[in-house]
Chain A
């Protein structure tokens, strides 16, 4: 047999395999590829497990490696190593060539454009959790045990199921602006016209546009707050409520002195959880304004600096700042979460 021919054949075969896995152009090919990848994955894992299972009392470390090894390797590669590298490059300039110590961080804290970003982020992290939690709590109390409870909950919760991109489009359309005198197509401007006011360019007018972007996140997160708080309101023992009623509490008094104190830990968990989600908000700002008109926040600015301005050092510094801001929230959240569970 001709050796060159075999070589040629194998090169051809390799090319076919590579193209199957890396160049999928048609819908059929893509779907088959997805299924093939899953099958391949299942096959490899099954083989490994089968090998470990064969010698009956296989060494524990070998079994543990097959079970936990893939996950740990992926986490090390996908989270630990990149996080270290990003921290490292945050001390370097835009091309990652010259060490500039804390310059990126100093710029992020002192330059006015970045101060605006930090101010906006603070505004988001302050307003979104409070507004969503308050509205969610009020709504949960109002519909608690009503006939339409399930339906009423689904209405508020639905925004959580859709993408933030979708939610942004929904709201961008609400804010749509036409010149005064023309037919309005955005609902909010139409309402303004109906009550005799001038239509407004909600997305462009600084600094108020930030509040209109924040409203979108509140719209999304309220469902989350409502669901968790509703569950903990239900968990308040009946006899406590009954006793309070006998003592003459009702309506707002009941809410203020019984409901709120009873669900305090859940309230804190909801507040901190929404704060964390808000800190990382990217999709809404990106879709609605692209960070223009003075609306950028840290998570969006990270993307802009890294990919639009190619300032890798600054992007890395912003990512690290985001990381540092999340940590206290997480610590507090986990502590409160424990408390919630202890009560149960």
Chain B
């Protein structure tokens, strides 16, 4: 993976070991400046405290939360899992249901657009057909359409089809909104595969389908992973699309919709809100920590979307 995608910005240049040591020496000199270290630590603390505060709160008993701040746990350490139990299974919130909804919304909304985009990207990269360039430029340009522009016409179409109340509007919408970016990125990766490889397969009598599965797909695994993680987080964390197409329907609405609603209706119940927020965050954070490298690449590549 070298040029022509924004994704490359992430790949740090490989350094030789000796050089690394030399640099480490240089660095120690730089960081010996106490003000620099102080500033760095200050920013890091400032960026961590908000999350930490809510995380600590989510484990405190309800009574303590309303009476004292989370920083008092040092003098008064009392912890409980009640909040999580309440938030997940309590009758007022039952986030467990919404957790399942989020999962059910997310999985097809990641797998299907990637598959469709892979095929289309292959067509744009390796099949010669009339109007190919015009169509590709059009797809590229369509990345910039803000999804707000599409929501109301789509909603009325779905209602005409009597799709409301099912997962289909959400799945289909996420799929369609993902396509321009996915096609563009995967096309760039496909183009980087040496033409001689494809040519050799063609000489051996392989058709497009065979070339796609046997030659290109195995080479594209990192690209698919990058985009897959990006799309996964995008769908998991999305509010606007699911609010529009699944809002207020406990059978379909995902976690984000439910939690945003709770902020409005139970805005002072911090024992529920704090636990709820972390229930919705745990999967994305695990994905982030486990696949950071791919994640960063995907984030950068997908920064235009929305």
Q: Is the CB of A287 within 8 A of B40?
A: no
Q: Is B74 an interface residue (CB 8 A)?
A: no
CA distance A322 to B152 in the complex (A): 15
Q: Is A232 an interface residue (CB 8 A)?
A: yes
| Residues of the A chain whose Cβ atoms lie less than 8 Å from the Cβ of B19 | 238
Closest residue of chain B to A86, judged by CB? B149
| Residues of the B chain whose Cβ atoms lie less than 8 Å from the Cβ of A183 | 67-69
CA distance A116 to B142 in the complex (A): 30
| Residues of the A chain whose Cβ atoms lie less than 8 Å from the Cβ of B37 | 142
CB distance from A178 to the nearest CB of B (A): 9
Docked complex: A264-287 residues within 8 A CB-CB of B: 266, 269, 273, 276-277, 280, 282-283, 286-287
Q: Is B177 an interface residue (CB 8 A)?
A: yes
| Residues of the A chain whose Cβ atoms lie less than 8 Å from the Cβ of B43 | 135, 138-139, 142, 156
Stretch at the interface among B79-87, B105-113, B193-201, B220-228: B105-113
Q: Is the CB of B69 within 8 A of A341?
A: no
Interface size on A, residues (CB 8 A): 127
Q: Is B176 an interface residue (CB 8 A)?
A: yes
Q: Is the CB of A162 within 8 A of B237?
A: yes
Interface size on B, residues (CB 8 A): 130
| Residues of the B chain whose Cβ atoms lie less than 8 Å from the Cβ of A38 | 107-108, 111-112
Q: Is the CB of A161 within 8 A of B208?
A: no
Contacts A22-B163, A30-B100, A138-B39 given: A42-B115 contact, CB under 8 Å?
A: yes
Q: Is the CB of B129 within 8 A of A64?
A: yes
Contacts A52-B209, A173-B270 given: A231-B123 contact, CB under 8 Å?
A: no
CA distance A173 to B53 in the complex (A): 8
Q: Is the CB of B107 within 8 A of A34?
A: yes
User: What 1/0 flags go to A30-74 for Cβ under 8 Å of B?
Assistant: 110111011001100100011011001110110110111011101
Q: Is the CB of B273 within 8 A of A169?
A: yes
Q: Is B73 an interface residue (CB 8 A)?
A: no
Known: A68-B135, A156-B43. 8 other contacts (CB 8 A): A21-B168, A57-B207, A79-B150, A87-B149, A235-B13, A266-B9, A282-B240, A323-B149
